[in-house]
Amino acid sequence: MDNSQTKIRVLIAKAGLDGHDRGAKVVARALRDAGMEVIYTGLRQTPEMITEAALQEDVQIVGLSILSGAHMTLVPKVLKMLRKEGLKDVKLFLGGIIPDEDKPKLAKLGVDGIYGPGTSTQSIIEDIRKACQ
């Protein structure tokens, strides 16, 4: 039996004001079943709350679900605050409705993965595992 037991820890948060959290819940559940520890924070999280939770929970991955169209406002704020807290190694994954033209901009800002409707949970799991290696 291995004595040290490292687990992938993921924060799943609904950023901003939209109240549709089914996607976030589906992803959280899939990650749980893939053996990860998922910190679920629920609806209407501000960038401050997301950063604070990421710090306190020492997660490797932050998964944001945004369906409101506010991603170009919220994501840069979250990234900036994460860096400011010294969480430079935390990876940011994004789910929701993200128009194609925004994807390159978000990737350039430092978003590690973007997943729209129809994504298989298996591909998210694999990407997270790869990002945590």
Partner 1 sequence: MPVTLTKSILNGERLALTRTLSHIENNTSEGNLILEELFPHTGKAHLIGITGAPGTGKSTLVNRLVFNYRHPHQGENAPSVAVVAVDPSSPFSGGAILGDRVRMQDLAGDPGVFIRSMASRGSLGGLASTTSGLVQVFDAAGFDIILIETVGAGQAEVEIANLAHTTIVVEAPGLGDEIQTFKAGILEIADILVVNKADKPGADNALRALRNMLSLTQPEKKSVAHHDDQLTIEQSPEISDLADQDWIPLVLPTIATTGEGIVELISGISKHKEYLKSSGGWILKEQARLTNEVGNLLQLALHKRWNSSISSADYDDVLDKVVRRQVSPRKAVERLIKGAGL
Q: Where on the chain is the footprint of partner 1 (CB under 8 A)?
A: 1, 3-7, 9, 28-29, 31-42, 46, 48-49, 52-53, 55-58, 85-87
Tell me the C-alpha distance between 48 and 133, whole Å.
27
Least separation in angstroms between CB 92 and partner 1: 18
Residue 92 tokens, joined: 């940011």
Q: Could you tell me where the DSSP H helices lie in 85-133?
A: 103-109, 121-131
Least separation in angstroms between CB 9 and partner 1: 8
Angle, helices 47-57 vs 71-84, to 10°: value is: 40
The CA angle 44-61-115, to the nearest 5 degrees, is 70
Least separation in angstroms between CB 8 and partner 1: 9
